[in-house]
Amino acid sequence: MVVEFVARSCQHSDLMRCCKYAGHHAWVCLVAACLATGFLGWAMAQAVEEASLASASHSLTNHFRPPVHPRRNVEDFPAVEAKFVRFTILKTSSAEPCLDELEIYPEDDATHNVGLASGGARATASGSLPGFQIHQLESVNDGRYGNGHSWIADKTNAWVQIELPEVRLVNRVVWGRDRESNFVDRLATEYRIEVSTDGSTWRTVASSADRSPLVIGGTFAGVQPMTRQIVTRFAPVNSSHSFEAQNNSPDYRIDRWQTEDGLPGNTVTSILQTRDGYLWIGTFGGLARFDGVRFKRFGEAEGLKNNRVLCLCEDRPGNLWVGSEGGGLFRLRDGVFTALTTRDGLRHDVVTAVAEDGVGRLWIGTYAGLQCWREGGFVQDTAEPFRSPLPVTRLLVDRAGTVWMVVNGQLRKVEGGRLVTPKLVGEPSGQLAISALHEGRSGHLWLGGNSGYVASSSNNVLRVLPLPPDTLPDNIWEVWEARNGDVWMGTASSGLRRWSNDRVLTLTTQEGLAENSVRCLFEDREGNLWVGTNGGGLQRLKPKTLRLVTTRDGLAHNVVMSLAEDAHGELWIGSNCGGLSARRQGTFAPAYLNYLLDNECIWSVLTARDGALWLGTWNNGLFRKSDEKLEQFKLANSSSDEPVLALCEDRTG
């Protein structure tokens, strides 16, 4: 009877949908359907495998999984070896399919997405929709959520594939249309997920065959007090970040000043805090003194005959020395500028670096070599440092009084009146073009150069900083060791990097920087980091007292409704129509307790004294988790919204 019904009514495009209603007769259903449609061979094999999955799910749960959800869908399956994971979209709610993120989780670590491009995974696809810069293939596994970081295929029937760096034992795939719940179109409604170890032989591990059909235009039970749109329940409050939250670092507050705020120029070349507490800012538009609120500008009218400032230095008597690009060296004393140029004996009018040593000598780096100024005049000497015509681009005097510099891209120092190459044990810095030189509070000498090269020298031993393999190989223009031991790196085009405890944090325009090209860094007496950019002005980074945790940190949703900590120190986080998240050992991740909770509105969370976790939802009643068991207590009236807004355990338990 089932065979006859299916044979008459099924078309090959609806094969799986028809077979779902056959329940435990799925095998008979498939044979009849394939005979009726002539849909044999490979298609029959695929259908049998998918129907087997659906039948198995039916026998275990006695009902189908919920329909696909635009925000997040979890596909759990028995662990299987995989190097390739392919997601094939057979049908969508409308137009070409869109995926926000395709995540792959190994059996041994439910919080580690091994499908990320940053971890070495590679994405390929049958095709991408042209003309949309934000919907490119790299967005499918870049670890960033939202429609602005999603992939759209070039046709309705399409596939996207993640190749892992190595074969892994995986048991979960997570996917969605828009993790921030702003868009519900282009949703994959019929699909299959396959794995392979060689890219040739594929095995289906999950599909839409065991899901209830999605009724386009339908609504969930209970429209009030919130409006529910076509296929998804939208949160009563916005689920996405504000613009400021989306474009700011979670660890730092970033303030910025540009020409409209009084800064002389938006290309900041040098920053210095003098002993009176003022900040001095050198730019290509002039010099400025900053009190934290207002800028006092210095230019030609004040006696600074060249506005293109390259470097700054304060000497022991309190004079401010200003090196310029083409105007020589200026000294500001008692509010008056005086200039030293080639007419006064300066080797070159491009002054790139100035530093004072312990006996009051001023060392001056120019495009024509090194000079020394002492007691009102240039020191004349026939030693090598003063005869070398090569440009000095970086210069410092360390605590021991040694003069270090970068000459023509190579590290040099003054020793015995001569310019010598230091004998450093370890990675030879001479093989790379050095562009950054800094002595930290620890006494380490820091170097930065091409291809992301950063190294420190201590006791003549050179140690290269172990940057992660996925760090962009950009040129390092500045290095600064902060008082807390963190090392900051300014790059030519990749923003700002912080190295701390062998981990690297990158800040770019995405996190709030005005410009990704960083020219100079300076830490003030209060511990703020000042950043001078190439065209983006001046910025200040202040560590945040409160840290914002979002979906970028692993949360399932950005609107958090309730929190509870259990006896094991795990933090449980209920969200507004985004399911449950958990923090375990400092790591945030969605909590996969049961598919019923994946996109649920969880407004109240309580951990009881007996160890049970209670979850109050907006429209699906109350849940209790005890060890691995999850129980649901339904609402008295399931036809309308009856939210569980609060939970409390009394003295009697």
Mean pLDDT of 528-536: 96
| 134: pLDDT strictly greater than 80 | no
Q: What is the pLDDT of residues 86-117, one digit of tens each?
A: 999 999 988 899 998 999 999 988 778 999 99
Model pLDDT, residue 446: 94
| 189: pLDDT strictly greater than 70 | yes
Which of the four pLDDT bands, split at 50, 70 and 90, describes residue 551? confident
Instruction: DSSP for 323-378, please give it.
Output: EEBSS-EEEEETTEEEEE-GGGT-S-SBEEEEEE-TTSPEEEEETTEEEEEETTEE
| 208: pLDDT strictly greater than 80 | yes
Mean pLDDT of 186-207: 95
Place of tokens 């409604």: 189
Question: Is the Cβ–Cβ distance between 66 and 212 less than 8 Å?
Answer: yes
Q: Which domains does the chain have, with CATH numbers?
A: 2-61 (no CATH), 73-210 (no CATH), 222-245+549-653 (2.130.10.10), 249-263+423-547 (2.130.10.10), 299-413 (2.130.10.10)
| Cα diameter, the chain | 109
Question: For 51-65, 371-385, 466-480, 630-644, which range has the lowest pLDDT when averaged over its residues?
Answer: 51-65
Model pLDDT, residue 16: 38
More confidently predicted of 126 and 3: 126
Q: What is the pLDDT of residues 30-48, one digit of tens each?
A: 433 343 333 333 333 344 3
* Cα 174 to Cα 92: distance, rounded to the nearest angstrom: 17
* Cα 507 to Cα 504: distance, rounded to the nearest angstrom: 10
Buried b (16+ CB within 10 A) or exposed e, 409-424: bebbbbeeeebeebeb
Which of the four pLDDT bands, split at 50, 70 and 90, describes residue 387? low
The rounded percent of the chain whose pLDDT value lies above 70 is 82
Q: Is 129 left (phi over 0), alpha (psi -120 to 50) or beta?
A: beta
pTM of the model: 0.57
End-to-end Cα spacing for the chain: 54
Mean pLDDT of 573-582: 90
| 225: pLDDT strictly greater than 80 | no
* Cα 17 to Cα 190: distance, rounded to the nearest angstrom: 9
Model pLDDT, residue 513: 92
Which of the four pLDDT bands, split at 50, 70 and 90, describes residue 162? very high
**3-class SS at 110?**
coil
* Residue 325 neighbours by CB under 8 Å, 6+ apart: 284, 306, 308, 309, 310, 350
